[in-house]
Amino acid sequence: MIEARNLTKRFGDKMALSDVSFTVPACETLCFLGANGAGKTTTINLFLGFLTPTSGSAWVAGRDVASDAEAARGVTAYIPEQVALYPELTGFENLKFFASLGGRDIEEAELVAGLEAVGLESDSFHQPAASYSKGMRQKVGIAIALAKRARVLLLDEPMSGLDPKAASDFCELLRAMNARDVAILMATHDLFRAREVGHRLGILRAGELVEVVDAAAVTGRELESLYLAHMSNAIEAVTGEAA
């Protein structure tokens, strides 16, 4: 459902992503871990069609994003670190509006069911989004993805700043999306939540995908040690000194 084929992106002399290949089938989540500047957001932006690859290709549901961006976006939903809702509109009104942008005229009962499905409290449906917490906005973002009937979900640091309860609720929503045959690619710094929600974990370092592991095959401590070892190697490569 999501596939990178030797995906490479260069900005002038800077190599942001180098010959990266991976696949994410329906029902699975791949979490990308890495320091700032490792290439996580660049990868997401290539799959969104915001950037054009220097070489290689990004594929969504069998469509090359660079050559068929409109069709690829039609089956893709994106949740950034801060979901941008219209603050003067209610959660219900935001959902209805964004669903209409996707070409769907949805009955009120289905809109309500979508907001209930993501766990938004019913007394918040008709409150202005300006009053929403980050966790509430993220839930509306997932509801928009459901209304769009997205087959691919791309997330860039969606749990940054969430309290533990909100982060746990969000992970439950992602598992529910997997159960609906949605493929998920998520960039995150949160090793604990990545291991909790991801089926596979990819470590990016300086634009290279240096390792991919099965989440179920590593403990939290093992994942932390593996991640820190790769980050130490990156520092050593830059400074010429052991970290």
From first to last of its 243 residues, what are the pLDDT tens digits of the chain?
Answer: 999 999 999 999 999 999 999 999 999 999 999 999 999 999 999 999 999 999 999 999 999 999 999 899 999 999 999 899 999 999 999 999 998 887 778 899 999 999 999 999 999 999 999 999 999 999 999 999 999 899 999 999 998 888 889 899 999 999 999 999 999 999 999 999 999 999 999 999 999 999 999 999 999 999 999 999 998 875 544 445 444
CA angle 144, 159, 120 (to 5 degrees): 45
Compute the distance between CA of residue 143 and CA of residue 147 in angstroms, rounded to an integer. Answer: 6
C-alpha torsion 210→214→217→222, nearest 10: 40
Compute the distance between CA of residue 237 and CA of residue 243 in angstroms, rounded to an integer. Answer: 10
Residue 155 CB: number of other CB atoms within 10 A?
Answer: 26
Instruction: Give the type of residue at 94.
Output: N
Compute the distance between CA of residue 74 and CA of residue 40 in angstroms, rounded to an integer. Answer: 22
Predicted structure pTM score: 0.90
What tokens appear for 137 in the block? 């906005």
Question: Which of helix, strand or coil describes residue 51?
Answer: coil
Instruction: Locate the domains of the chain by residue range.
Output: 1-75+152-215, 83-150
> Phi and psi for 95 in degrees, rounded to 5?
-60, -45
Q: Which of 32, 36, 33, 67 is nearest to 53 (CA)?
A: 67
What tokens appear for 162 in the block? 């969430």
CATH topology of domain 1-75+152-215: Rossmann fold (3.40.50)
Q: At what angle do helices 108-117 and 91-101 cross, to 10 degrees?
A: 110
Residue 48 CB: number of other CB atoms within 10 A?
Answer: 18
